[in-house]
Amino acid sequence: MVPIHHFLWLAAALFCMGMLALLLRRNALVVFMGVELMLNAANLTFLAFARMHGTSHGHVSALFVIAVAAAEAAIGLAIIIAIFRNRGTLLIDELRTMKN
Amino acid sequence: MQSLQNFFMNPPFAASDLAPSLWWIIALPLLGALVSGIAGKRLGRANVQLIASTAVAGSFILSLLSFWAINSPQATTSNGVTGHSIRYAMGHTFGTWFSAGDFTVNYGLHVDHLTGILLLVITGVGFLIHLYSTEYMSHDKGYWRYFAYLNLFVAMMLTLVMADSLVLLFVGWEGVGMASYLLIGFWYDDAAKAWAGRKAFITNRVGDFGFLVACFLLVVTVAAFEQDATQTNFARTGTSVSGFAAGVEREGPLAFGTLEIFAQALSASPDSEAAIGPSTEIGSGPLAGFTYGGVLTAVLLLFLLGAAGKSAQLPLYVWLPDAMAGPTPVSALIHAATMVTAGVYLFCRLNFLLVFSPVAMATITLVGAGTALVAALIAFAQDDIKKVLAYSTVSQLGFMFMAAGAGLWWVAVFHLVTHAFFKACLFLGAGSVMHGNGDETDIKRLGGLWKEMPVTSWTFLIATLAITGIVPLSGFFSKDAILHGLHGVELAGGLSWAPHLAARIGQFAAFCTAFYMSRAFILAFTGKRSPQAKLAHAHESGSAMTLPLVVLAALSVVALVYGLPIMRGPDGAGEPVFLNFLRPVFNPGTAIGDRLASVSHTDVGGLGMAYFIAWLVAVAGGALAAGLYLKVFPAREGQPAPAAATGIVNFTRNKFYVDELYDALIIKPVRFVAFLLYRVFDALLIDTVLVRGTAWVTQRVGSALRYVQSGNVQAYATLMALATVIALTYAIVKVLN
């Protein structure tokens, strides 16, 4: 059986990659994918602990996260499409209407 | 006679059955006010008149029934604190109104002989005035407002007299003040009339302040008494220290029943060491160190301030003459017959407290005497018929205060009732004169109404004779009962000179009354019609206006019966009807006054001679006025008075410059302080520093913080991530440690 810390390291790596994508990439679509990556890293952590404890609590949480991620993807992609139609660009540093 | 008495004393129903329905007496006019006020415009003139008059008529019938019920010897109610029964009364508690901590106020109504008399006067005279108003206000667009206010007034006045605690009384007290304000300023598009309403309201507020402080002092005093009292205090009242405390908790310290037991207990045995009395110092609470008697003197003097505001006594009488800006029937009902007598009612109701303080009694008597004289003198030179009657009202209220202050409560009530009849008649007569003469109020521009307005003239004459004090009209008996009674009043503490002086002043004021009333009557009704009159011919008013006049004139004659000594007193001698009738109400006051030896009344005798002198004074005053105004200087417009008289006349015509004095002494300084407050406190501190300063600081801080907002989403996300990392690191370090 694979020890738990392998899973946790993998999850941490995925989380950091997602976060870096979120913070550094300029394309809104990629930023969005970063968010998804972070959610899945959290899922992996939940499932790892669920397996370690042998209970189903972690599975339930993961299912919830998947549902939320699906809803978020639906709305987030719709917003991204709407922004692209409106502005003709998805570069985040050009989308700064709040400032002037 | 015997059968009449049997009829009165055996009502076919029990008072206790009627008591739970007492609230209807107040509810009917209140309902009328609601309906006329909300839907009056849609209902139309005739419906509003019908609703308003019927509501008061209904109250009158209920008042008659309650009055009949309490005449039965079986009619009893019980004191809420001790449970002992009170004869010739009925009452009902409808539940707790509010309570906070151990302070309770119940919603209770109480009708005894004093309240019964006032109920009949308020609803009876009130109904006549509603009837009169249907014609007097027949051309006014605001009829629905008028009748709503009038009904509201009646409801509030009834609350005032039926309340069984000072708190509920205060509700009525403020309610009638509000109705009075609304009706004085009824024609509010005339700025002077609107200001008159405000003046009345604000002057009354000065008095109400005194009333409220007096109530608070009483609450504290009763609470202290609960702590200090000994068992001996309650020996006479049939309760105990703990029983009294429980009763106060149940009934509230400001219920009249509680206050009466408090007064009885405090005066139980003034010379005994085992009991506390008026000269004992209060042991605990915020008033510790003051004596009970001293605090009660302060309470009564504060009540005097309140009563002086409501009843237009010195120094707060200035609002009443200006209150004539309202419609004339309003002046008759509110500013002559009922509301302004609230102060007299208050002292009659609190008779058991009044006797604790000869100082307060002397002060009230002297204030009354001073008011009676000053107002009568000012009335000399007023040319506005309503102003003459207004000052006359102030003066007559002064007479009532003399009597109430000297402990002659039944006489005060007697004069209150007769005055309600003849002064309402006079005011309604003046209204009829105005109605028939194109709203002319200047008596010098009237004249010669005798032939053109016969009913008004006759009733006005009868009422004038009554107020002047001509035998055998009711005013003679009530006024001379006051003056005669004052001679026999002895106050403790060497203060007997006060009532005796008041009697002399009152005698002179009575002379002045005869003078100015005769003058007003002669100038307005007799002689030739003045060339300055607005209309060439006056017209007599219709039956809705003359009927109340006739009824009131008849009543101001018939009311003399109340002063006739046809009842049997406790010692078998004959005594006046009202004295006999009101004895149950004023018994506590009389008994406590005897126990404390603070006040005593003796009949100084020589009643026949005194009556003859009084009559002579009245006739002399009237004759002097007649002589002066018919022969010496018939000072109508165009025939000026002799130069010698002009100076005096001008001085009195300007009301002794009292309004100007108040303006210089009180209003100007208040204005100055207000100006300072406006400039320094309001304009500088609040507006500039607080309001604009806050806005300025917010704006500056905002524009500084603006630079932090880059608008870049990833910059925000970075900050969030950093913050999370820091928080996590902190948490991990904490856990590891």
Cβ contact B456:B540 at 8 Å: yes
Evaluate whether B163 touches B96 at the Cβ level (below 8 Å): no
Distance CA B681, CA B670 (A): 15
Whether the complex's predicted ipTM surpasses the cut of 0.85: no
Radius of gyration of chain B (CA): 30
SS3 B574: strand
Spatial distance between the Cα atoms of B28 and B47, rounded to a whole number of angstroms = 16
How far is C-alpha B14 from the geometric centre of its chain's CA atoms?
A: 31
Lowest mean pLDDT among B88-92, B182-186, B282-286: B282-286
Residues of B with CB under 8 A from a CB of A: 709-714, 717-718, 721
Contact at CB, B711 and A96, closer than 8 angstroms? yes
- SS3 of B680-725: the string is HHHHHHHHHHHHHHHHHHHHHHHHHHHHHCCCCHHHHHHHHHHHHH
Q: How far apart, in whole angstroms, are the C-alpha atoms of residue B506 and residue B373?
A: 7
Task: Give dist(CA B724, CA B71) in Å, integer.
Answer: 87
Instruction: Label residues B14-53 b or e (16+ Cβ within 10 Å = b).
Output: ebeebbeebbebbbbbbbbbbbbbeebeebebeebbebbb
- Give the confidence band of B305 by pLDDT, cuts at 50, 70, 90: very high
Of B348, B430, B428, residue with least CA distance to B386: B430
pLDDT of B631 reads 62
Cis-peptide into B669, omega within 30 deg: no
Token pair recorded at residue B85: 């029964």
For B7-11, B250-254, B571-575, B604-608, which range has the lowest pLDDT when averaged over its residues? B604-608
Span of B44-48, B210-214, B230-234 with lowest mean pLDDT = B230-234
What is the least distance, in Å, from the CA of B712 to any CA of chain A? Answer: 6
What is the share, in percent, of chain B residues with pLDDT greater than 70? 95
pLDDT of residue B654: 64
Contact state of B712 with A96 under an 8 Å Cβ cutoff: yes
Cβ contact (<8 Å) for A22 and B710? no
Torsion sign, CA atoms B365, B371, B374, B377: negative
Distance, C-alpha B353 to centroid of its chain: 18
Separation of alpha carbons B122 and B706, rounded Å: 71
State in Å, rounded, how far the first CA of chain A is from the last one: 57
Contact B159, B171 (CB under 8 A): yes
Name the pLDDT band for B737 (thresholds 50, 70, 90): confident
Structure confidence at residue B286 (pLDDT)? 84
Q: At what angle do helices B454-468 and B409-436 cross, to 10 degrees?
A: 150
> Helices B342-349 and B113-136 meet at what angle, rounded to 10?
170
Q: Please name which of B714, B14, B125, B219 lies closest in space to residue B418, comparing C-alpha atoms.
A: B125
CB–CB contact A99 B711 (8 Å) = yes
What average pLDDT score do residues B525-545 get? Answer: 76
Instruction: Please check the confidence at residue B73 and state whether its pLDDT lies above 90.
Output: no
Residue corresponding to tokens 């309902």: B31
Which of B300-304, B482-486, B635-639 comes out lowest in average pLDDT?
B635-639
CA-based nearest residue in chain B for residue A23 = B714
Higher pLDDT, B566 or B592: B592
CB B112 within 8 A of CB B119: no
Interval B1-17 mean pLDDT: 80
More confident residue, B443 or B350: B350
Classify burial at B501, counting beta carbons within 10 Å of its beta carbon; exposed 0-12, middle 13-18, buried 19 or more: middle
Q: Which residues of B touch A12 (CB under 8 A)?
A: none
How much is the pLDDT for B666? 75
Contact A23 B713 (CB under 8 A): no
Q: In the prediction, which pLDDT does B646 show?
A: 59
**Residue of B158, B155, B144 whose CA lies nearest to B109:** B158
Q: Which of B75, B407, B82 is nearest to B259 (CA)?
A: B82
Token pair of B488 as six digits: 């026999």
| B717 contacts A22 by C-beta, under 8 angstroms | yes
pLDDT of residue A60 exceeding 90: yes
pLDDT tens sequence across B597-642: 888 877 776 677 777 777 777 777 777 777 776 665 555 544 555 5
pLDDT of residue A78: 94
Q: In 3D, which of B406, B725, B712, B319 has the Cα closest to residue A23?
A: B712
pLDDT at residue B637, as a whole number: 47
Question: pLDDT of B193-228, one tens digit each?
Answer: 888 888 889 888 888 999 999 999 999 999 888 888
Most A-contacting residue of B712, B722, B725 (CB-CB within 10 A), to test interface: B712
Q: Which residues partner with B600 through β-bridges?
A: B490
Confidence grade of residue A17 (pLDDT, cut at 50, 70, 90): very high
| Chain A residues interacting with chain B (CB cutoff of 8 angstroms) | 19, 22-24, 31, 92-93, 95-100
CB pairs under 8 A between A and B: 26
Give the pLDDT band of residue A33 (cuts 50, 70, 90): very high
Residue owning tokens 């405000």? B198
CA-based nearest residue in chain B for residue A95: B712
Percent share of chain B, pLDDT over 90 = 24
Return the pLDDT at B642: 56
pLDDT at position B398, please?
Answer: 92
Nearest chain A Cα to B714, which residue? Answer: A23
Lowest mean pLDDT among B80-84, B94-98, B719-723: B80-84
Q: Is the pLDDT score of B240 beyond 90?
A: no
Tell me whether residues A95 and B713 touch, CB distance under 8 A: yes
Question: Is the pLDDT confidence value at B643 over 60?
Answer: no
Residue A77's φ and ψ, nearest 5 degrees, are -65, -40
Mutate to test the interface with B, among A90, A91, A97, A99 (most CBs of B within 10 A): A99
Give the integer Cα–Cα distance in Å for B87 and B615.
38
Predicted confidence at residue B735, as pLDDT, reads 93
> Taking all residues of chain B, what is their mean pLDDT, rounded to a whole number?
85
d(C-alpha B471, C-alpha B583), whole Å: 26
- HEC secondary structure over B375-408: HHHHHCCCCEHHHHHHHHHHHHHHHHHHHHHCCC
CA distance B211 to B60: 29
User: Which residues make Cβ contacts (< 8 Å) with residue B43, sequence separation at least 6?
Assistant: B35, B36, B51, B144
Bigger pLDDT: A100 vs B282: B282
Contacts of B721 in chain A (CB under 8 A): 19, 23
- The residues, any chain, with a CB within 8 Å of residue B171's CB and separated by 6 or more, are B156, B159, B160, B163
Sorting pLDDT into bands at 50, 70 and 90, what band is B656?
Answer: low
pLDDT at B53: 92
Mean pLDDT within B455-459: 88
Q: Which 3 state secondary structure label does DSSP give B98?
A: strand
**pLDDT > 60? residue B334:** yes
Of B7-21, B291-305, B382-396, B531-545, the poorest mean pLDDT is in B531-545
Q: Are B532 and B445 in contact (CB under 8 A)?
A: yes
Ramachandran area for residue B288 (φ above 0: left; ψ -120 to 50: alpha; else beta): beta
CA distance B681 to B53: 51
Asked if B444 and B529 touch (Cβ cutoff 8 Å), the reply is: no
Q: Do residue B711 and residue A19 have CB atoms under 8 angstroms apart? A: no
CA atoms within 13 A on the CB side of B435: 26
Give the tens place of pLDDT for each residue, B342-366.
Answer: 999 999 999 999 999 999 999 999 9
Three-state secondary structure of B529-564: CCCCCCCCCCCCCCHHHHHHHHHHHHHHHHHHHHHC
Q: Are A98 and B721 within 8 A, CB to CB? A: no
CB B458 within 8 A of CB B592: no
Q: By mean pLDDT, which of B165-169, B319-323, B567-571, B718-722 is the weakest?
A: B567-571
Q: Do A99 and B710 touch (CB under 8 A)?
A: yes
Q: How many CB atoms lie within 10 A of CB B230?
A: 15
Higher pLDDT, B364 or B576: B364
B563 pLDDT above the threshold of 60: yes
Confidence check: pLDDT of B506 > 50:
yes
Residue B463 to residue B421: CA distance in whole angstroms: 8
> Highest mean pLDDT: which of A3-7, A95-99, B532-536?
A3-7
The set of residues, in sequence order, having a beta carbon less than 8 Å from that of B285 and lying 6+ positions away, is B220, B223, B224, B227
Q: Where are the alpha helices (DSSP H) in A25-100?
A: 28-53, 57-87
Give one DSSP letter per residue of B199-218, joined into a string.
HHHHHHHHHHHHHHHHHHHH
Record the tokens describing residue B469, joined without a space: 């004090």
Nearest alpha carbon to residue B636 among B379, B443, B444: B444
